[in-house]
Amino acid sequence: MTTAVAVAPAHSRRRTYPLGWWGMVVLIMTEAMIFAGLLGSYFFVRAISPTWPLDHIEPPELARISLFTVVLLGSSVPIFWAESGIRKGNQRRLRIGLLLSFLLGASFMVNLAFEYEELHFGVRDNAYASLYYAITGLHGLHVFVGLLMNLIVQIKAWQGKFSASRHLTVEIFGLYWHFVDVVWIFVFSSLYVSLHIP
């Protein structure tokens, strides 16, 4: 025989994070390891190389990418704004925030395409070149996936599917997008800044 007992729910003031949010956090941990491994490889090869970049390749210029770094990092701001909006049920802020962030992210991708076009070296030239393309390419792929996710969330937002109490998808997407931005800080400092400070 068993006895049925009533269970008191957890009443706490703090926000609860649903399963999908936790799943994304763990996914981000493992993704962060991939980038850590790539950047680690970059510094490993750099440490054993006589010159860097190898073969005196001319590295990509710093000024323009700095501008687009600001653009990419800036694209997180509208997401924060959109999130805090939908928490209060503000549909307009959600829609505009997502759209703005999309445009900023997309312009970062356009710049990446231009940069690849203008570079003086190809992916096969040497290990520096391979690492450069692998790291920026993988990050670019993440931005691209983020843009796709943004699109889905945005369509749902314009259809009015979210509300003050139901907007988990927005938060999960936001988490991912911020991660992609944070990774860029590391990529930017390793691949660009560190080559231009004497």
Partner 1 sequence: MAIVEERPVEEEEVEHELHEVWEDAPGIPGFFATVDHKRIGMRYIYTAFIFFFIAGLQALFIRAQLTVPDAEVVGPEAYNQLFTMHGTTMIFLFNTPVLAGFGNYLLPLQLGTRDMAFPRLNAFSYWVFVLAGIFMYTSYLVGAPPDGGWFAYLPLTDKVNSPGLNLDFWGLGVIFVGISTTVGAINFIVTTFKLRAPGMSINRLPIFVWSILAMAFMVIFAVPAVTLAAALLESDRLFGTAFFDTARGGSSLLYQHLFWFWGHPEVYILFVPAVGMISMMIPVFSRRALSGYVWAAGSLVAIAFISFGVWVHHMFATGLPALAMSFFSAASLVIAIPSGVLFFVWIATMWQGRVRWTTPMLFSFGFLLIFLLGGLTGVMVSIMPFDWQAHDSYFVVAHFHYVLNGAVVFPIFGALYFWLPKMTGRMLSERMGKLSFWMMFVGFNLAFFPMHVLGLFGMPRRVYTYARGLGWETLNVVVTVGSFLFALGTLLTLVAWVQSRTRGAPAGDNPWDADSLEWAVASPTPHYNFRAIPVVNSRHPLWDQEPLPEASSGDEEATRSLGTPGALDRATPITTGLDAAAEETMAIPRETYLPFLLALGLAVFFTGLLVEALVVGVAGVAVATLGLLWWAWRTEADLV
Can you give the binding site for partner 1, defined by CB under 8 A? 1-10, 12, 16, 18-20, 22-23, 26-27, 29-31, 33-34, 36-38, 41, 44-45, 48-49, 54-55, 123-131, 133-134, 148-149, 152, 156, 161, 166, 168-169
The least CB distance from residue 35 to partner 1, in Å, is 9
Task: Kindly state the tokens that stand for 197.
Answer: 């400070």
- Could you give the CA distance from residue 66 to residue 8 in angstroms, rounded to a whole number? 54
CB 127 within 8 A of CB 54: yes
Return the number of the residue (3 or 117) whose C-beta is nearest partner 1. 3
The least CB distance from residue 15 to partner 1, in Å, is 11
Return the number of the residue (67 or 151) whose C-beta is nearest partner 1. 151
CB 182 within 8 A of CB 80: no
Return the number of the residue (131 or 180) whose C-beta is nearest partner 1. 131
Q: In three state form, how does the secondary structure of 131-187 look?
A: HHHHHHHHHHHHHHHHHHHHHHHHHHHHCCCCCCCCCHHHHHHHHHHHHHHHHHHHH
Return the number of the residue (10 or 197) whose C-beta is nearest partner 1. 10
- Could you give the CA distance from residue 79 to residue 149 in angstroms, rounded to a whole number? 13
Return the number of the residue (41 or 107) whose C-beta is nearest partner 1. 41
The least CB distance from residue 152 to partner 1, in Å, is 5
The least CB distance from residue 184 to partner 1, in Å, is 18
Angle subtended at Cα 109 by Cα 145 and Cα 129, rounded to the nearest 5 degrees: 100
Angle subtended at Cα 42 by Cα 37 and Cα 47, rounded to the nearest 5 degrees: 125
The least CB distance from residue 103 to partner 1, in Å, is 21
